[in-house]
Structure formats: C-alpha cells, structure tokens
Amino acid sequence: VALGGASDAMATRVLPALTPLTTRGLQLSVTLGLADELLAALTAARLDLVVSSVRPRDRALTATPMIDEEFVLVAAPALARGIDPARLVTDPVAALAHLPLVAYADELPIIRRYWRSEFGRRPPNRVAVVVPDLRAVLAVVIAGAGVTVLPRYLAAAALEAGSVELVHEPETPPLNTWYLVTRATPPRPAVTLVRDRLLQRAHAWGSL
C-alpha cells in the first residue's frame, strides 16, 4: 500500500498504528510531504491513501474524517515572559507582534489560521525559520527562536516539561480535521484494511 502524509503525523501516530498489520505481511511504501502534493499524487495513482489535514476538492477523491487535532500557541519560557499580559487581552496582535515566527511552510498555513480564528487578522510578525516538519518546528521553538502554533499532541510533552509555555489560551481551542483520502473508485482490499485500521485507532485516540 502506497501511503502518504506529513512527516510528523506519520512518525508519531500513523505508522505506529499500522505496525500490527505489517507484522501480518502488509507492505507499506510511505511518501512524506505537504497535503496538496500528496493529494495530486493520489489523483495520479502514485499513492493509494493519504492522511491529509486538507479536505480535497477533487471529486475524483473520497475523504473520510479521521480525527480532530487541537492547536496551541507556544513559545520558550524566556520569550513568553516578555509578553505584556494586559496588552495580550486588549490587543493580542500587537502584544505578540515583536515575536519571530517559526513556521511549517512559507504560506504560514497553521499560524495564519490561528491568528485569523482567534485574533481576526493575519500575523504581522517577521518569520525567523521555516521547516517542513512540526517536530523540528518544536525543537527550534524550545531553543528560543520564536513563537509557533502546533498540534497539542506534539507539544504536550514539552508543555509538561516546561520547555515551552502556552502564550494564549482561547476559550475554544482551534481545531483541524485529519482526513483519510482515497480515490473515488473502490479501493483494493489492502487499502481498505489500512483505512479501517486507522479509523479504529483514531476512535481510540479521541482527539489530538
């Protein structure tokens, strides 16, 4: 089965969940990348299944909601202490504007979505680092390079250890849905097996 997904999601959740199938003879070929690239490869039949954080618009593809991930805005403690708490309440965009951003992609998809959802504006901050792996984003933020938005499941250990702190705590945390995407034509039995296993594990996870 040719499977595609983001490197961090595949490493931390998806591939460990599929290990029982590989011990029973299933062979996986994994491609890592951004959602748009992977969905294009799926349409072109170079992949069988994609774990995507973007719902495809192509009618040739079928998307099944898998799980919701919660996003958190975090920074290293030294940077977090430099934020004026009163101004964060009255004008959060201005209160955070001096902090460099550490991003997953040049378009700032995760960060921009958080700013628009919570603050109603795009971030005016300068971008310090762009790295297409959220685990690397977290490592750079822990080192003090700037502020970022991460799925809570990736930041949880660092938050518990005190390596990063929550910079902003919304009443309702922003969510994003992961989708399991296949072509609209009936999938092969092995692809169905992988899809069903991931849906089963996602139900056990609850949310991320």
Which residue type occupies 20? P
Q: CA 198, 201, 202, 204: dihedral to nearest 10 degrees?
A: 170
Q: Which of the listed CATH numbers 3.40.190.10, 3.40.1170.10, 3.10.20.340, 3.40.50.2300 matches domain 2-67+176-205?
A: 3.40.190.10
Predicted TM-score (pTM) of this structure: 0.83
Per-residue pLDDT of the chain (208 residues; tens, 9 = 90+): 999 999 888 998 999 999 999 999 999 999 999 899 999 999 999 999 999 999 999 999 999 999 999 999 999 999 999 999 999 999 999 999 999 999 999 999 899 999 999 999 999 999 999 998 899 999 999 999 999 999 999 999 999 999 999 999 998 888 989 999 999 999 999 999 999 999 999 988 876 5
pLDDT of residue 207: 64
Annotated domain spans of the chain: 2-67+176-205, 69-168
pLDDT of residue 208: 59
Distance, in Å, from the CA atom of 49 to the CA atom of 172, rounded to the nearest integer, reads 31
The yes-or-no answer to whether 2-67+176-205 and 69-168 have a common fold is: yes
Close Cβ partners of 80 (under 8 Å, ≥ 6 residues apart): 164, 165, 166, 167
CATH class of the region 69-168: alpha beta
